[in-house]
Structure formats: C-alpha cells, structure tokens
Chain A
Amino acid sequence: MIVPHTVQQILFIVFGIITLGGAVMVVTRRNLFHAALFMIVSFFGVAGLYVLLEAPFLAGVQLFIYVGGIAILIIFAIMLTRDMMNPNVVARNSQWVPALVVSLLLCAVLVWIAGGYHFEGTPDPVPAHSLEILGQTLVAPDGLALPFEVASVLLLVAIIGAVTIARER
C-alpha cells in the first residue's frame, strides 16, 4: 500500500484511477454508447496526468483532438451503424484470435520498455516557455519540421480521399 504524502501524489492516483477505470469500463460494457462515454472519461484522466506533468498544452490538445474529434467520430460511427446497439448480436468476429495475439504482444512490448526504464533522481524543472519551445521545434528545419509536414500531407491526402469517395457522380 502506497501512502501518498503530497497533494500531487493524491492527484496522480486519482487521475490514474480515472484513466484506468474508464479504460476497463470501455472494454467491459455491452452498450457501445456507454463504452464510448467511458472512453471520454479515460481521456479526461489522461488530460489530468498531462496537467500534473506541467504540460497544459498537451492536456488541451488531448481534450481538443481526442474528446472533440475522435470520440465524436466514434459516436457518429456507432449511431450510423445498423444493429450496433442490439444486445443479441455477438460482439466478436472470426478475427478474435489474431487480435488477442497482437494485443498481448503490444502489452508485452510496453511492459518491457517501461520496465527497462530507470527513473534516476528528480527530473529537470519544466522551462517557463515550454509552449514557445514546442512551437519553434515543430517548425525548425533541424527540428521536427519534416515529420510535421509529412503528417500534414498525410491528413491532406485523407481529406482529398474522403471527398473523392463521397463525391456524387
């Protein structure tokens, strides 16, 4: 039993419980709409962890993209799919064995990486202008400019593809 002695540790545990509890509920709910809502709860927990790490911008991005974008998209997909809410429909298909293998592999890799990491001493304090540094790194030619642009091009391709598919002929 870990006894928390600072406010930060209590908050960390609370956000951890929210994140993990939400995640567990997502995979155990039969009602897909409820599962999607619990996923949002889990996203909020992750946003809280970002705030604790003094990365408020990432917390905002987490809410903006995952809650405002991806979760909305998932709920739309749920609502627009026929028979998705019928409890009598079997909730798995013939691919459950490969899916199980892949998720176990992913879990093993994550545990291996996290277990191999040594936390030494206290980390350096977060610089006051972390937001400016992040922004400049994203567009600096010797920084992340290339991956940033490649990601943008990928999104552009996706948009054009969506328009092409949806276009009336």
Chain B
Amino acid sequence: MEFLSDLFVNIGAWFQGLLVSLNLPDVWVQIISMLVGAFLLAFVPLISMFFLIWYERKIVARIGDRLGPNNSGAFAGPYGLLQVLGDAIKMFTKEDVIPDNADRWVFNIAPMVVMAAAVLTWAVIPFGKGVIGSDLNIGIFYILAIGSAGMFSVLMAGWGSNNKYALLAALRGVATLVGYEIPQVLAVTAVVMVTGSFSTQQIVVAQDVPYLVAMPLTALLFLASILSELGRRPFDLVEADSEIVAGYFIEYSGMKFGMFYLAEFMNQLMVSVLFSTLFLGGWRGPFVDQAPVLGPLWLAIKAMLVMLVIQLFQYTLPRLRIDQILAVNWKLLTPLALVNLCALALVGKALPEDVGPWGQAGAFLLTNGALALILLGILAWAGRKARQREEVLRSAVVTSASAEETAPA
C-alpha cells in the first residue's frame, strides 16, 4: 500500500537503485535514468494521442448529431477505439510526395521541427508531487520560449512547399502567433507574479485556491490566446479548410502529414495540461496528500475537461476574418492584459501580509470582476457607437437613393 500510494516516485527510486546495484559509475546512472525519463516523457503523450484523437472524433460526432467511430462496419474495436490504429497504418503506407521545385531540405526538416517543439515542452510539466521531467527555475518561461521556436516549423513548411496557399497560411499563421503571444505572456506573467516563481511545480503548490477562481479574467485571456496559438476556431485561419484548404501543410502526404497532425494534437493536449497547471491547480485534488499517485489522474481529468471546452469552441463557433482576429488581439486583449497585470500588481502589493490564501484570492477576484464590468461597459458603448454610425450611413444611402428616384420625374 505504501508503495502504491506514491507509485511513480517509488518506481523512479527503484529504478535508480537497480542501476546503482549494477555497480555502474555515477555518471552512467545519471545519464541512463535521464535518457529513460526523456523517453517516457516523449512517449506517453504520443501514445495518449490514440485515445485523444478518438475522444475528439466522438465529441465532433455528437455535436454534429452523428455516432462517430464505431464498430458497425469494418472491425474497429469496442466503440471504434481502434479506428485511430487503422488510420495510422493507412498513413504509414501512403506515398511520400515532394512537390516540384520544393525546397527539399526545408520541406523535409519542417515536420521534425514541429514534432520536436511539441515534445520538448513536456519536460517541465508537473504530473504530481516529485513527478516532473525537470523542475527548471524558469519552467513556464521555457515553455513560452520553445513555443516561439515552434513557430518556425510553420514558416518552414509554408515556404518549403512551393505553394502559394501554404505560404499564405504560414504568413497569416505567424502574424497571428506573434500577436497573440503578447496577451498570452502577459496572462502568464500575472500568474508568475502572484506565485512569485517561474517554476511550474511552485505554481501548482501555490494554488491553495485555484487561480481560475482567483483571477477568472486572466484565465480567459490565456484561454483566448492559446486558442489562437493552436489555430482552433474561432481563430483557425491557419487551417481554414474552405479558403486555403489545409493551411501550411497542404503539400505534405503520408507520415510527414501525420507528424503535423500528431503535433497539432500534442499541442492541444499540451495547452490543456498547461491551463490545468496554471489555473486549475494542476495535480492537486482530493486525497492527493494521502496518495500522491492520484496526482497524474487529477491532472488528466482536468486536462480532458479543458480539452472538451476547446472542442466545443472548435465545432460550434464560426471563423473570424484575419483583420477581425488581429483587431481583437491588438485593440482588446493586449490592453486588457496590460491593465489586468497592473491592477493585480497594485492589489497584491496593497494587501496586508496576513490575509491568507482565501483573502488574497477574494481581493484578486474583486479586482478581476471590477475590470470585467468596466470592460463590458466599454464594449457596450463601442458597440452602440458602431451601430449608430451604421445607422447614419444607411439612412444617407436611403435618402440618396430616393433622391435619384424622384429626380427624373
């Protein structure tokens, strides 16, 4: 029971003990355990894709009043769980097409870069107490830095394909990514400021009250910016099926396409886990103090819920135009994130030391609530202004039209 309650840490300790008992030099013990850890960190998200792709398909199907993957036609396992396996086999056996005049090196390296960026971020995600790849003191900043490097795979794929639609999608995508990085970083900065640490593990430990409760506006800002970073609706311009077909990876086939597809899913899982870590208390949950083995389970449940929300957005909202997306970012989200950060900093500084976690959370909640009310007021005012302007324009058109009608007579 003792062993089971803290399973993952104990397995790690057992493995280290095993290596030491083999009389290996210390350096090798360290290197081997690091390699095994890295392998697991890269592999677990990859394997979970089999389940997650099925999960997304089932949700889409239910939203569209369909059944989704099931076992009624060819054999696909109970509830169609094995359908993804069939897709994977199909993808591996497809012909690998490289377009004429493609920039071959860039074209071929892009899928590797996108995969590497998707895998690397997992190193600093805390799965439980002591279950983390590497508790870097710059944790969350590392994720942001790797994310900005991942942008390059988009540009490389778009450029290397020698296809104008791919290039258009890549340019649109990077313009969006660069813009939305700002509210994202500012929202994360608010979390880091309240916690007082970049370390992801520290952020989880500090959440006696989940930050979603303490600063809902910050969480919303973060959610909006990660939706656009993922290229999910309402910000799915990069992929816009009906305009530029499949976006920057339109020319890829076979497993190279598969890598983009997988990386997209891994990023989706990644941001769900990140949202859970930053705002929902990560691996913390009931009974986790008695049995730390529950930590990864809580994290997985929270991430699934966040993912469900992302899917609901994806399959029920219409797509925004590129100018609308950039306008929302620069005119709404960025100023709001700045004001939010300043307000939280002032309130946090003004609070007395001994208010405790709930007092602090209450103060932040009030700040965020006040900000949200002011924001709604400004939006309502701007909306009324815009409608009035439109009304004036329309009446001008009507009068000129009626003037034309009466003129000949």
Chain A positions within 8 Å of B, measured between CB atoms, are 7, 33-34, 37, 40, 44, 56-57, 59-61, 63-64, 67-69, 71-72, 75-76, 79, 131
Q: Given A37-B106, A64-B145, A131-B198, does the pair A56, B152 have CB atoms closer than 8 Å? A: no
A67/B148 in contact, CB under 8 A: yes
Asked if B144 is an interface residue, CB under 8 A from chain A, the answer is: yes
A76/B149 in contact, CB under 8 A: no
Asked if B165 is an interface residue, CB under 8 A from chain A, the answer is: no
Q: Which of B151, B152, B181 has the most CB of A within 10 A?
A: B152
B103/A33 in contact, CB under 8 A: yes
A60/B151 in contact, CB under 8 A: no
CB contacts (< 8 Å) of B178 on chain A: these are 68-69, 72
Q: Given A67-B152, A72-B178, does the pair A33, B145 have CB atoms closer than 8 Å? A: no
Interface of B is mostly: helix
At the interface with chain A, which of B38-46, B133-141, B376-384? Answer: B133-141
Question: 11 A–B contact pairs at CB < 8 A?
Answer: A56-B137, A59-B145, A60-B141, A67-B148, A67-B149, A68-B148, A68-B149, A68-B151, A68-B178, A72-B152, A79-B159
CB contacts (< 8 Å) of A37 on chain B: these are 106, 152, 156
Chain B positions within 8 Å of A, measured between CB atoms, are 27, 103, 105-106, 136-138, 141-142, 144-149, 151-152, 155-156, 159, 167, 171, 174, 178, 181, 198
Q: How far apart sit A131 and B142, CA to CA, in the bound complex (Å)?
A: 14
Closest 5 CB pairs of A and B: A68-B148, A63-B145, A60-B145, A64-B145, A60-B141
CB contacts (< 8 Å) of B174 on chain A: these are 72, 76
CB contacts (< 8 Å) of A63 on chain B: these are 145-146, 148-149
Given contacts A40-B149, A56-B136, A131-B198, 8 further A-B contacts (CB under 8 A): A33-B103, A40-B152, A57-B137, A57-B141, A59-B145, A67-B145, A79-B159, A79-B167
CB contacts (< 8 Å) of A40 on chain B: these are 149, 152
A60/B138 in contact, CB under 8 A: yes
CB contacts (< 8 Å) of A60 on chain B: these are 138, 141-142, 144-145
Of all chain B residues, which has the CB nearest A33?
B159
Q: How far apart sit A67 and B146, CA to CA, in the bound complex (Å)?
A: 10
Min CB distance B62 to A, Å, is 38
Q: How far apart sit A7 and B151, CA to CA, in the bound complex (Å)?
A: 31
Q: How far apart sit A79 and B27, CA to CA, in the bound complex (Å)?
A: 47
Q: How far apart sit A40 and B156, CA to CA, in the bound complex (Å)?
A: 12
Q: How far apart sit A68 and B151, CA to CA, in the bound complex (Å)?
A: 7
Q: Given A33-B106, A68-B151, does the pair A131, B146 have CB atoms closer than 8 Å? A: no
Q: Which of B144, B148, B151, B178 has the most CB of A within 10 A?
A: B148
CB contacts (< 8 Å) of B146 on chain A: these are 63
Min CB distance A88 to B, Å, is 17
Of all chain A residues, which has the CB nearest B149?
A67
Of all chain B residues, which has the CB nearest A67?
B149
CB contacts (< 8 Å) of B149 on chain A: these are 40, 44, 63, 67-68
Q: How far apart sit A61 and B147, CA to CA, in the bound complex (Å)?
A: 12
A68/B145 in contact, CB under 8 A: yes
CB contacts (< 8 Å) of B27 on chain A: these are 7
Q: Given A72-B151, A72-B178, A75-B155, does the pair A64, B141 have CB atoms closer than 8 Å? A: yes
Min CB distance B29 to A, Å, is 14
Q: How far apart sit A64 and B136, CA to CA, in the bound complex (Å)?
A: 16
A57/B151 in contact, CB under 8 A: no
Of all chain A residues, which has the CB nearest B143?
A60
Residue of A59, A68, A71, A76 touching B181 (CB-CB under 8 A)? A68
Residue of A33, A56, A69, A79 touching B138 (CB-CB under 8 A)? A56
Of all chain B residues, which has the CB nearest A66?
B148
Q: How far apart sit A161 and B51, CA to CA, in the bound complex (Å)?
A: 50
Q: How far apart sit A60 and B152, CA to CA, in the bound complex (Å)?
A: 16
Q: Given A40-B152, A131-B198, does the pair A79, B171 have CB atoms closer than 8 Å? A: yes
Q: Given A63-B149, A67-B152, A68-B181, does the pair A57, B138 have CB atoms closer than 8 Å? A: yes
CB contacts (< 8 Å) of A44 on chain B: these are 149
B138/A131 in contact, CB under 8 A: yes
Min CB distance A89 to B, Å, is 18
Min CB distance B183 to A, Å, is 15
Min CB distance B30 to A, Å, is 10
Q: How far apart sit A112 and B39, CA to CA, in the bound complex (Å)?
A: 46
Q: How far apart sit A47 and B62, CA to CA, in the bound complex (Å)?
A: 46
CB contacts (< 8 Å) of A67 on chain B: these are 145, 148-149, 152
Q: How far apart sit A37 and B159, CA to CA, in the bound complex (Å)?
A: 12
CB contacts (< 8 Å) of B155 on chain A: these are 72, 75
CB contacts (< 8 Å) of B136 on chain A: these are 56
Of all chain A residues, which has the CB nearest B155?
A75
Residue of B106, B148, B171, B198 touching A64 (CB-CB under 8 A)? B148
Q: How far apart sit A59 and B146, CA to CA, in the bound complex (Å)?
A: 11
Of all chain A residues, which has the CB nearest B136?
A56
Q: How far apart sit A57 and B136, CA to CA, in the bound complex (Å)?
A: 10
Residue of B106, B141, B144, B147 touching A34 (CB-CB under 8 A)? B106
Of all chain B residues, which has the CB nearest A79?
B171
Q: How far apart sit A88 and B138, CA to CA, in the bound complex (Å)?
A: 46
Q: How far apart sit A63 and B120, CA to CA, in the bound complex (Å)?
A: 14
Q: How far apart sit A34 and B144, CA to CA, in the bound complex (Å)?
A: 25
CB contacts (< 8 Å) of B141 on chain A: these are 57, 60, 64
CB contacts (< 8 Å) of B103 on chain A: these are 33-34
